[in-house]
Amino acid sequence: EDALQMLLDQSAQLALMFEREQLDSREQFVELKREALVPVIAQGHALAQFEQISFEQMVQTRQIVVASRNHSIKPELLFSKDYWRTDNHHSACMMIIRNLGWGVLPLEMFNENPELKKKLKVLELYDFTPKFEYYVDLVWSRESELGVAARFLIEHIRQLRQQPRK
């Protein structure tokens, strides 16, 4: 929500955003990639000792949620009644590592930083498979004049998308 607002008030030309349920008529996008989000907890947390946990156990534990700075907007992927908010996945990761709660993080973070596998555990649930897949989009405002670099990047991504997938 914050990134979209920055595009619309022209304080940013481009934004990387997870797919949205509803598109604003003023936005344009090109899809970059699919990203999996998984629930994680610090290895030292009591819930990490279990092979699988129930949904009830998860929702009764504080959740670290990545959400808009605007507190009137309800966060997506919010399960717990007790939760803390932050506006990015990296600070959420640091809060989770410090045993402040569990949270949903991009699986790509584990590939970027293999040390996280030693510090965090992906939660396995009895009740459902807790892997959420979203597309990541490069988004811009239809109402803004894009600079040369922004237009180049958009065109480059479009060309990559036209290449055969392996």
Rounded to 5, what percent of the chain is helix, strand, coil? 30, 30, 40
Does 166 score more than 70 pLDDT?
no
List CB contacts of 61: < 8 A, sequence separation 6 or more. 41, 47, 80, 82, 101, 102
Domains of the chain: 2-162 (3.40.190.290)
Can you tell me the mean pLDDT for 151-162? 91
Q: Long-range CB contacts (< 8 A, 24+ apart) of 145-151? A: 146/13, 147/13, 150/13, 150/14
Q: With CA atoms as reference, report the closest residue to 82 among 98, 99, 102.
A: 102
Please give the model's pTM, rounded to 2 decimal places.
0.76
Which neighbouring-strand residues pair with 86? 66
Does 130 score more than 80 pLDDT?
no
25 to 51, 130, 163: CA distances (angstroms): 45, 32, 28
Can you tell me the mean pLDDT for 56-60? 92
Contact present, 64 and 95 (Cβ < 8 Å): yes
Q: Model confidence at 50, in pLDDT bands (50, 70, 90)?
A: very high
Q: Which residue has the higher pLDDT, 20 or 55?
A: 55
Q: Which residue has the higher pLDDT, 162 or 155?
A: 155
Distance CA 103, CA 84 (A): 10
Q: Which residue has the higher pLDDT, 121 or 131?
A: 121
Can you tell me the mean pLDDT for 55-60? 91
Q: How many CA atoms lie within 13 A of 40 on its CB side?
A: 26
Res 156: pLDDT = 93
Can you tell me the mean pLDDT for 98-105? 96
Q: Model confidence at 1, in pLDDT bands (50, 70, 90)?
A: confident
